Structure 1
């Protein structure tokens, strides 16, 4: 049986470049294919952010990994963005991109696609520059701690959270997944918003030499966890992974997207 500690040890062999290659180039990131999973994720995020309800001072991305696509709509609504990851290799990969260093992953097709679906008529270069400027820090996170960011943020001080493929991929079982969700939710102000993307019915994924275990979740399990830790679900969508997207790097059956709002009053 996996434990939190064994999962943490397993992640030490996580290869960010292999992970990016497996998930963030075609066929999974094919912007010409309406059934491709990446455009679906970007559309979900853009739709929630277009409602005019999300925003504030600080947006924290929980478990960014080596990716920034999950922020391309939400970052516009906040004055500062904080990226977080448990692994130093991922934090290094993020910093490389933020500083536009040679060899950093090219997210331009993503930025361009989000510009087109948002329809504001701006160039992707402008949006990309703005995102780089908006990110103030890249810090360590441990979702299994009551204060996942340590002393970096007081409980209840953050206006928005984003998290993609983190909680279920770093927890040994459903109880640990729900507890991790509770821990990160502690960062949010009452009334604050969570945008979360995750895997449905997945037991493992590959990232180079690393084979990482995943809590096998159903839509009902995710909804239950959100309700338990005090969210009102504002939107919930699911995507079934078509055969063309099943490329042997995981056994994921589907993806969920949720926009949820923390209940309670300031």
Structure 2
């Protein structure tokens, strides 16, 4: 298919009802339903069950006026912020949020997920809880280089993006830049949850076919690591889809922790004014021994080999790992 004949999700208007009818109705192609919705929902449920992905603010920046991917995760956060790239998807989300008569009916997926949790009868309560937790909904199009700071949002503990980033990036360079922009929304130590597909040919909305960036696992890993993330988990499912709506090789769900700001030394917050050494435990004034935090060890696995003892900034709330690679401009972090 000629790439020039494809439309672009963030540039061409479409009817969000077409998107929902094609992908989210109960009678949707079962394979498509399993791969696009159920696989990432089940995978995310497993990840969140550890309790490690939690905090105050969750930002969702995903394709379409869709709520299903929020079900396994929103309970672990106090506030949810929804970002949409266009006003027509925003209007469709508002219909659901305000329980308008024309709103899309998500009961089949809500009931299915509540059943996975052990009580299918709680889906109504779950839907109402999600509505209450959504504190803000905003338009945001990072493909136009809107600076995240212009939205004046609080730094989040988790940002999730289902399928959107590859839809709004025309090439790999743009995708790498988007990952760095997304990082600006997150606290260091916060999580990025990405769902997408490898080797996508296109996706459809109604009668029209749309662009999606073609990439493989190797490139995704590089883009995330270059953006300051350490990938903790990456689950994949081979596609068995024969539908003309989508063409791809695999769907994936990745969870990655932000270990540094893009293009900066590896930075993380310290819970107390202490100095860690990577080679030995420390002790101070007879206090119990403690070892380097887990996030620093994640940073090591990203290719930082020779690490000096941690340096503490004047306010004693931030620690900066300084490696030989950071100190010597001729050597670069991987």
The alignment's TM-score, normalised by the length of structure 1, stands at 0.88
Aligned equivalents of 1:164 and 1:24: distance in 2?
Answer: 14
Aligned equivalents of 1:121 and 1:111: distance in 2?
Answer: 8
The 8 Å contact of residues 97 and 104 in structure 1, kept in 2 or not, is answered as: yes
2:34 to 29, 33, 36: 36
Check 1:169–1:67 CA distance in 2 against 1; reply closer, same or farther (3 A cut).
same
What's the C-alpha RMSD, in Å, of the aligned pairs? Answer: 2.4
Structure 1 SS opposite 2:215: coil
Deviation at 1:106, TM superposition (A): 1.2
Equivalent residue for 1:94?
93
Check 1:106–1:35 CA distance in 2 against 1; reply closer, same or farther (3 A cut).
closer
Deviation at 1:26, TM superposition (A): 5.1
Check 1:151–1:13 CA distance in 2 against 1; reply closer, same or farther (3 A cut).
closer
Q: State the number of aligned residues.
A: 257
Pairs within 5 Å for 1:7-156? 7=8, 11-25=11-25, 30=30, 36-37=34-35, 38-119=37-118, 123-144=122-143, 145=145, 147-148=147-148, 150-153=150-153
Check 1:49–1:29 CA distance in 2 against 1; reply closer, same or farther (3 A cut).
farther
Equivalent residue for 2:165?
167
| Structure 1: segments with no counterpart, 5+ residues | none
2:228 to 227, 230, 233: 230
Deviation at 1:149, TM superposition (A): 6.5
Equivalent residue for 2:293?
none
Check 1:78–1:35 CA distance in 2 against 1; reply closer, same or farther (3 A cut).
closer
1:265 to 240, 265, 268: 268
Q: Which runs of 4+ in 1 moved over 6 A?
A: none
Structure 1 SS opposite 2:246: coil
Deviation at 1:253, TM superposition (A): 2.3
Deviation at 1:160, TM superposition (A): 0.8
| Deviates further, 201-210 or 96-105 | 201-210
Deviation at 1:64, TM superposition (A): 4.6
Aligned equivalents of 1:34 and 1:24: distance in 2?
Answer: 9
Aligned equivalents of 2:40 and 2:165: distance in 1?
Answer: 17
| Structure 2: segments with no counterpart, 5+ residues | 260-266, 270-334
The 8 Å contact of residues 24 and 33 in structure 2, kept in 1 or not, is answered as: no
Deviation at 1:82, TM superposition (A): 0.6
The alignment's TM-score, normalised by the length of structure 2, stands at 0.71
Bigger Rg over Cα: 2
Check 1:34–1:173 CA distance in 2 against 1; reply closer, same or farther (3 A cut).
closer
